[in-house]
Amino acid sequence: MTDKINIEVVYALSSEQTLLKKEVPAGTTVMEAIQASGLLEKCPDLDLAAHKLGIFGKLTKADTVLRDKDRVEIYRPLLADPKEVRRRRAEEGKVMKKGGGDA
């Protein structure tokens, strides 16, 4: 067994996506991996306190210990509530159907 693991750290802005691969010591936490990746230097405006963290699409805490080949993901806050967007689209669809043309 080796004392190093391979991980990825992923962060996406609307204009740019960053995926950094890193070899880190076994026992590294999510937060330590983010710090070791160099992402905070590459994205100095990134405030981790305002972002949720995950591993392969599942929310996790900063002190979670990583396993080999884990992908740490940093999630941006949503600009719009998906439920509200769907509700608005559904309402627009009802209005359009009611005002339908010749059948």
Q: Break the chain into its structural domains and give their ranges.
A: 4-98
Provide the pLDDT for residue 15. Answer: 83
Q: Please write the tens of the pLDDT for every residue from 52-92.
A: 999 999 999 999 999 999 999 999 877 777 788 888 888 88
Model confidence pTM above 0.85: no
Can you point out the beta strands (E) in 1-103?
4-12, 17-25, 52-55, 58-60, 71-75
Q: Which fold has domain 4-98?
A: Ubiquitin-like (UB roll) (3.10.20)
C-alpha closest to that of 55 among 41, 71, 31, 36:
71
Whether the CB-CB separation of 77 and 50 falls below 8 Å is answered with yes
Whether the CB-CB separation of 72 and 8 falls below 8 Å is answered with yes
Provide the pLDDT for residue 102. Answer: 54
- DSSP secondary structure string, 79-100? SS-HHHHHHHHHHHHHHHHHT-
